[in-house]
Amino acid sequence: MKQHIAHMVNDRAEKYGTREVYRFKDKSDNQYKSFNWDELISSIHQVSKALIALGFGYKSNIGIFSNNCIEWSISDYGILAIRGVVVPFFGTATKEQVKYIVDETKMELMFVGDHEQLEKAKWVLDHTDSLKIIVSFDMNISPDDDSCINWESFINSGNNKDLEKRLTEFYDEAQSDDLATILYTSGTTGDPKGVMLDHDNFMFAFSIHDERIDITEEDVSMCFLPLSHVFERTWSFYVLYRGAINFFLENPREVINELPNAKPTLMCTVPRFFEKTHEGIMAEYEKWPSFKKKIFNWSIGIGHQCSNLKSKQKNIPALLKLKNSVADKLVLKKLRSIFGGNIRMIPCSGAAIRPELLKFFHATGLFVNHGYGATETTATVSCFKSDVYEFGSVGSIMPGIEVKISDKGEILVKGKTIFKGYYNKPDETSKILIDGWYYSGDEGNISDLGNLVMTDRIKDLFKTSVGKYVSPQKIELLLGKDPFVEQVISIGDNRKYVTALIVPVLDNLKAHAKMIGLKHTSDAHLLSLKEIQEFIQQRIDKLQDELASFERVVKFTLLHEPFSIENNAMTSTLKFRRKVIMEKYKDLIEKMY
């Protein structure tokens, strides 16, 4: 088999035939439906032929602007099969962000999902020279002009049998070094950059994952992170490569409600998911009587003992096994049921996670496989091994991948998963791709046990006006432990001391205000009260005992509006857009100085 994704999918379709490959929730009746391999490959070929009929083929840059859905994936593979290049957009992208990418890639055709995405695409159509055709996944949307094609009409346009020959030729001509996709980074700083990944980047990634993790044909993976991001996209490719089932969830906010119904065995996620889930668990915990809390604490304590031994590949003594079986029946199994009850592994990446949070979920019996990677490395650089791992690290380095730490403490990566460069940005490429080494921009080290530790984004490190370097991630993870703190951004670059913007957990704060008889007329009013300010200050001071004096938050401002994707303060993978936040709240920040 050639090192090409289109050949891989064809090969699996021939092998599995009528076996289920996709599962999804049908919008029309809200019922779960499935798709088998024969249906998938037939649909892929229809997309490919329809694209050929429209004049697209080798090196055509074709966009997908949609939330996760089965049509997203079918279009993805259909484009790849004609040696085209898939250019995904995050479903929440603004019309200006979409226009930037369309202009840079000279994109002529774009697939779109819902009505809002269609309206943005139509605006781009009117404000760019290249975009000519929009294909809508939504069957309920009736095109109002020749530039918009309904999904059904588009698929039917590939029914011409004469197109079969040309499609076969594309398969025969496909090469492993064909450009597969241009993935635009979220743009936390400056303009987004298009990361170019070839088919051989992905195929090599699959082979090294085979040596690290075990996925079988019986597995079901929940696909709820954006397919437009390298993490979920590469993982979804790998799920098909292994012959497992992928379950598409269009709205990621529904994941907790859908997990008990979908009952996946695998699921990619980000640290924020565990933070929110843990907050929910502890909010319920606070309502319990003392005896129930004691049972919970004892059970989690037993779970911690077992997971600690497992992480070091040590045997669990018989008595501890017995205690764990009791703890499992009383508490741990119920906690795992939040995730559907069948989860056996959760790959987690995209940001730092507090070690105690990671340990908590391992104590419940969930194997959270924490890892590290980037779009430029085709996702995984390191992750936990299933039999031995080190909490506080991002796992051991993947086979076939080289990692070294520069004199400045920067993580450098080399191997066959490294990207080919930034699209149309040779100068940007030359700055971080040197002699085959990718300069990640992340600060890190190799632990005594040989595992990779990622400590912070080098660009995020700031230097106070007294000459001290401070890690914002360290401060934010520390303060984020507090049950009254939802989000925190630390500030201090070229300033005389460190300050912070804090989004509190309003429900917890309102409950505290009620308990002490504090009245308020609005959320903003509540946060302005002297008693609330002093209460948060006391909690912050207590947490900061372990920090050096120059690292401590001296002043803070409470915000009632969370940082979110919708207000452009976070990327689609829930990373802070620090520059955007600093600009938006510059007046409040100045007041703290």
Identify the pLDDT of residue 145. 64
Q: List beta partners, residue 220.
A: 245
Query: How far apart, in whole angstroms, are the C-alpha atoms of residue 428 and residue 17?
Result: 45
Q: What is the bridge-based pairing of β-strands 485-491 and 32-36?
A: unpaired
Q: What is the pLDDT of residues 378-405, one digit of tens each?
A: 989 999 999 999 999 999 999 999 999 9
Judged against a pLDDT cut of 80, whether residue 142 lies above it is answered with no
Query: How far apart, in whole angstroms, are the C-alpha atoms of residue 411 and residue 218?
Result: 36
Radius of gyration in angstroms for the set of CA atoms belonging to the chain, rounded to a whole number = 25
Q: What is the bridge-based pairing of β-strands 437-446 and 410-414?
A: antiparallel
Query: How far apart, in whole angstroms, are the C-alpha atoms of residue 536 and residue 529?
Result: 11
DSSP string, 366-400: --EEEEEEEGGGTEEEEE--SS---TTS--EEPTT
Identify the pLDDT of residue 143. 57
CATH class of 275-458: alpha beta
Q: What is the pLDDT of residues 169-202, one digit of tens each?
A: 999 999 999 999 999 986 544 578 999 999 999 9
Mean pLDDT value across residues 8-30: 91
What's phi and psi for 567, nearest 5 deg? -95, 15
Cβ atoms 93, 192 nearer than 8 A: no
Judged against a pLDDT cut of 70, whether residue 344 lies above it is answered with yes
Domain 461-591 homologous superfamily, CATH:
ANL, C-terminal domain (3.30.300.30)
Fold of 5-174: Rossmann fold (3.40.50)
Query: How far apart, in whole angstroms, are the C-alpha atoms of residue 111 and residue 237?
Result: 19
Q: Give the containing element (helix H, strand E) for 134.
A: strand 133-136
Domain ranges of the chain: 5-174, 275-458, 461-591
Quote the crossing angle between the two packed helices 230-241 and 5-16, to the nearest 10°.
40
Q: What is the pLDDT of residues 113-123, one digit of tens each?
A: 988 999 999 99
Identify the pLDDT of residue 188. 47
230 or 31: which carries more pLDDT confidence? 230
CA dihedral in degrees (71, 343, 278, 299; nearest 10)?
Answer: 170
Q: What is the pLDDT of residues 498-554, one digit of tens each?
A: 999 999 999 999 999 999 999 999 999 999 999 999 999 999 999 998 888 889 999
DSSP one-letter code for 329:
I
Judged against a pLDDT cut of 70, whether residue 141 lies above it is answered with no
Judged against a pLDDT cut of 90, whether residue 471 lies above it is answered with no
Tokens of 406: 């520069």
Judged against a pLDDT cut of 70, whether residue 263 lies above it is answered with yes
Identify the pLDDT of residue 527. 94
Per-residue burial over 163-196, b if 16 or more Cβ lie within 10 Å, else e, is beeebeebbeebebebbbbbbbbbebeeebbbbb
Mean pLDDT value across residues 356-363: 96
Question: In the predicted model, what is the mean pLDDT of the chain?
Answer: 92
Q: What is the pLDDT of residues 152-163, one digit of tens each?
A: 989 998 888 889
Q: What is the pLDDT of residues 34-49, one digit of tens each?
A: 999 999 999 999 999 9
Among residues 217, 215, 308, 192, which one has the least CA distance to residue 268? 215
pTM score of the predicted model:
0.86
Highest mean pLDDT among 23-32, 283-292, 359-368: 359-368
Mean pLDDT value across residues 566-589: 86
Percent of the chain with pLDDT over 70: 98
Instruction: Say yes or no: do domains 5-174 and 461-591 share a fold.
Output: no
Q: What is the pLDDT of residues 429-444, one digit of tens each?
A: 999 999 999 999 999 9
Identify the pLDDT of residue 210. 95
Q: What is the bridge-based pairing of β-strands 133-136 and 148-150?
A: parallel
